[in-house]
Structure 1
């Protein structure tokens, strides 16, 4: 682990700003604090050494929930702090809203994700929105201050901060659309109501930021593991371009092909030999993960991240110690429709990615609140590839793979199909993935089988529970509507059609009420 991320970081006025849980009114960052334990941003950035600490806070903001682990002094208010983790919220929005998972719990506003029935007053929608803006606001202040410094190392940090801001703006665009408040370091520090942007402009801004910093970041794998480098930027550009038609109605598949090819050819990454090793405590040694969100059970204690993913997936007859933990929160299982993506061979599944726990579990889900209904999934673990338990049995050591090479292979393949180019290489890359999955050549496909229908299914098989499924289904026109239904979509056990407006989430009603410049997303 990069222990810089585990430092006890400075609490400063910016934390207080976004703790109000909304971005409606951007307030002063330099107000003299009343609490003697809190310093202003001007005091923080007066010391050049603190730039590294604040950068660490930005990376840690993807994993941790506040200034004290596992809870206490939260970054945002209005929801149980354990729920407020960036990765945890991203996982809820991208996974539970799809065929990949249902959740048994009855926490207010959470069951609605099983049914695609969320609304503008949802605390979970509000928490995701606020967590994203927390990151953006933190980055804006860092960038504003770093631009005034000449030190070379601070300029290096500046490029990383711009990447982290672009990443959060991409999540904002993907989840909430373009009708969102837009703030940068160029906006006034005094209190004001930000104006909304639009999808075209926000897409162009994210693209321009990534292109601008590409040459300022270290070469692929030239930075500390878990920090941004050129390959991380290329990966995000490839994903941005892959979804450009969703965001802007303009196809950019040729660009997605180009940037995914750069990652493949110049990144120096390789597919891990063993699929399961990608989701264990030493997954930083696999050579496949391009950009992780790092976790450490001793130094980064949180009820979000992979602690959430692992603990919430265990229950029923599952043995927590097999996964290196003592927790079993009995929350998440998968749907029978998702299970059907994997071909049975009469004795389970030949595809080694089908990490289903079926003992004591029914395939069908009649009552979502019953953990034993729906196959459980044992994909993530707090044990290493050699079997050692993580350092802490309550908080996990396993990093979350936000970007990895197999995703880039499949981005290349989809873009190749959509542009009718490089299809021979695309087939080879897909079959590399499937050779790993099956352990031999039995899972390989032919050129005629390499279709878009195959790609959306293969992305599900390869990338499930990693936070991609909703975006993928939206891109293929399968997330809402009735062309593809799954258990409990539309609040019907057999699944039913849902409204297209649910392809993006609502602007939280609290922000709409506070900022008169904003308009709600259509349908909410």
Structure 2
């Protein structure tokens, strides 16, 4: 297998001979301009349908890189090791893990394009529609604004009535977070209450959860742009707002911590989860771009001889893996109706890999329905995933693999593209942990008898982990990692806790503080003179 990078970041995978099941790498088509709108035409653009605006969420769940890459590969959770020439991809993954990116980085550029294209579409609805549709457009614009504010520190804005070729204005990070909060608060009265069936739409609870996240990170976004890594001052009034909005979410009887952690992620999480507040729903076929393409979450990590046959790429860092107790179900759990067919647990995979094998030759991988046995690598050696991997040089079995979104076994013989996993952008366990953090950071109202310790232990108990005797900021960041890994939160969390630039496995030195914000792409600076490059780049 050899991976190369095309002009729009499309990793290409050569077929593995004699395999009947395979994943195909997806082209995350980010049909978006460098600016907030196409730079042509003098008339105001035509607003899209609200359904088309929701489709903008596809770009966040439709590939193993870009938004996901920026949020996860830069942290202590995962990295993309090079295996010979496989996964070299012109160094795109190494630069993220080593914090050596610059304004020319392909994924920084593509993510900018995609998010700003989404801002353009959501603005057209938020400023021209009425009633519920307007409120949904406002929620979605606030959602994408918050992502741009967090990642790039500058947010382009322009009225929906402006000509398509008009140059956008630019909100500072401080002004952008104020705009996000104001728009969400304006949208709430016209949004419906969450009832589980509307988890793929904007609801009051989704807006309140996003407001809690905005207030929790407000100190980061109000920081002097010259020192984006902090230290930060968290105002008690902001923490009280976090608690207020978390309590509003918790008041909905349709939401509760799910006693089965993997109900939130496996193929039937749309009906099984009691936690997922706002999701990207799956379509009938993930390749069609009409749903959450979560097949890549498995394919980017698993070996070619597992099922589904995969790309043998990303790994979890051993230090992150070791932060879990062995009894914690979030670390590794056999799933009924899954592990007996696929051979793998949910969670992390280390040691001897198992999967379907051919009855006629157990050294060859089989298909779902064949007996489960030990798997072998392409040279015929036992496939044993090691605890560690190098960012530069690896064998095909190096590194701990991850299985956060277990795929429907009934679809795997066809490549698993029909698996109906939904991606949770906002989840109730995150809301509970946000309240714990706000209390720990000085929130004084709305505790309702709860403490950071009681909240954290209520989650740990359900996950099978031992209760803590105390909660500190350090232990809370670790708990957020264990609960929310690979859900797109880790970079934001590590920055807020002042740990993003610290050394991690395979990055032995601290990175420069200015790396807490990504650069504005060079092409974007050329297209909009109102943008200024972030400090340090």
More helix by share: 1
Aligned to 2:378: none
CA gap of 1:268–1:87, structure 2 versus 1, over 3 A, is: farther
* Of 400, 409, 424, the match for 1:375: 400
Normalising by the residue count of structure 1, what TM-score does the alignment of the two structures yield?
Answer: 0.77
Correspondence for 2:118: 135
CA distance in 1, matches of 2:400, 2:102: 28
In the TM superposition, what are the counterparts of 1:312-391 in structure 2 within 5 Å?
A: 312-315=300-303, 319-320=306-307, 326-343=308-325, 349-354=326-331, 355-359=347-351, 360-368=384-392, 370=394, 371-383=396-408, 388-389=410-411
Mapped contact 2:196–2:254 kept (Cα < 8 A): no
1:296-326 CA-to-partner distances (Å, cap 9, x unmatched) read 3526635973122121121177x32xxxxx2
Does 2:35 align with 1:23?
yes
Q: Which runs of 5+ in 1 are unaligned?
A: 1-17, 32-39, 46-50, 66-83, 148-154, 321-325, 344-348, 490-494
Q: Quote the residue 2:488 is aligned against.
A: 467
- The question of 1:426 aligning with 2:452 is answered yes
* 1:59 shift after superposition: 1.2
Displacement of 1:20: 6.2
Deviation at 1:424, TM superposition (A): 3.4
**Whole-Å separation in 2 of the counterparts to 1:217 and 1:430:** 30
Distance in 2 (CA, whole Å) between partners of 1:314 and 1:513 is 40
What is the Cα-based RMSD across aligned positions, in Å?
Answer: 2.6
Note the 1:397-408 alignment, pairs <5 A.
397-408=420-431
Residue-by-residue CA offset, 1:223-249 (whole Å, 9 max, x unaligned)? 623101000000000001111111114
The answer to whether the Cα contact below 8 Å between 2:108 and 2:521 also exists between their aligned partners in 1 is yes
Structure 2 unaligned regions, length at least 5: 1-29, 82-86, 224-233, 332-346, 352-383
Shift of 1:175: 0.5
Aligned positions of 1:51-62 closer than 5 A: 54-62=49-57
Offset at 1:116? 1.2
Q: Please tell me whether the aligned partners of residues 367 and 373 of structure 1 are also in contact (alpha carbons under 8 angstroms).
A: no
**Contact 2:37–2:120 under 8 Å retained in 1:** no
In the alignment, structure 1 residue 181 sits paired with structure 2 residue 156:
yes
Deviation of 1:63 after TM superposition, in Å, equals 1.5
CA distance in 2, matches of 1:222, 1:434: 24
Query: Could you report, residue by residue, the CA deviation over 1:333-383 in whole angstroms, capped at 9, with x for unpaired residues?
Result: 11122122113xxxxx11111122112122222354535322111221112
For 2:109 and 2:45, the matched residues in 1 are separated by 26
Residues 64 and 339 (structure 1), Cα distance of their counterparts in 2 relative to 1, 3 Å cut: closer
Answer whether contact 2:73 2:93 (CA < 8 A) is retained.
no
Query: C-alpha separation between the residues in 1 aligned to 2:389 and 2:204?
Result: 44
The corresponding residue for 2:180 is 206
1:458 aligns with 2:471: no
The count of corresponding residues between Structure 1 and Structure 2 is 436
Between the aligned partners of 1:156 and 1:181, the Cα distance in structure 2 is 25
Runs of 4 or more, structure 1, over 6 Å off, are none
Question: How far apart, in 2, do the equivalents of 1:160 and 1:20 lie?
Answer: 21
What is the match of residue 34 of structure 1? none
Native 8 Å contact 1:86 1:132 kept in 2: no
Which has the larger share of strand? 2
